[in-house]
């Protein structure tokens, strides 16, 4: 991997990841997409049929298989929250970029998305609480934090490319 993008759902990981991968001429790998391929079903169905614990085990296995591939990886919002995933992200020695967005921005981006299992059950208060709960794990493995509110995906990619260039010099 050239870079790993982490952050809460709706922070821009997939959008920015695709654009960053294109700029780097590398494949974009979305961890959630990889999980659905391995499981043969949608994430919302994994949650409803097998529960979150099963999903997190599968997520960890797919993360370990994916992290050694070449490309840009966009993780799921809860990926770094699991202790074994946090260890794997830190151990990989690949730049981990945290994309952050305000609760209102997140709600605006994800409302009505039936493919996100947590969206339908969260109001703004719950979202803020969950986001706050995940912050320590996000920051524990992030090499760079970028606030995505008010920035275009292209502007965010430019910040990441500058960071990667400076890191390699």
Range of the domain at 146: 3-168
pLDDT tens, 70-118?
A: 999 999 999 999 999 999 999 998 999 999 999 888 888 777 655 555 5
List phi, psi (to 5°) of 109.
Answer: -75, -35
Tell me what pLDDT residue 118 has: 57
Write out the binding residues: 10-15, 32, 56, 77, 116, 134
Give the domain CATH number at 92: 3.40.50.300
Per the structure, the count of domains in the chain is 1
CB within 8 Å of 75: residues ≥ 6 apart: 4, 5, 6, 13, 31, 63
Write out the binding residues for ATP: 10-15, 116
The CA-atom distances, in angstroms, between 141 and each of 40, 50, 86 are 30, 28, 7
Write out the binding residues for substrate: 32, 56, 77, 134
Tell me what pLDDT residue 119 has: 58
């Amino acid at each position: 991997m050239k870079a790993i993008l982490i952050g809460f759902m709706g922070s821009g990981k997939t959008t920015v990841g695709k654009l960053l991968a294109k700029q780097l001429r590398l494949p974009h790998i979305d961890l959630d997409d990889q999980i659905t391929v391995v499981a043969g079903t949608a994430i919302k169905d994994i949650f409803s049929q097998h529960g979150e614990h099963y999903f997190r085990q599968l997520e960890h296995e797919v993360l370990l298989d994916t992290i050694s591939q070449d490309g840009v990886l966009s993780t799921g919002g809860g990926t770094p929250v699991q202790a074994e995933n946090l260890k794997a992200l830190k151990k990989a020695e690949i730049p981990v970029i945290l994309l952050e967005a305000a609760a209102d921005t997140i709600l605006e981006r994800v409302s009505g998305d039936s493919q996100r299992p947590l969206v339908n059950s969260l109001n703004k208060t719950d979202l803020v609480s969950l986001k706050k709960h995940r912050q320590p794990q996000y920051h524990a493995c992030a090499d760079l934090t970028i606030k995505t509110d008010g920035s275009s995906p292209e502007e965010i990619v430019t910040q990441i490319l500058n960071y990667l260039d400076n890191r390699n010099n």
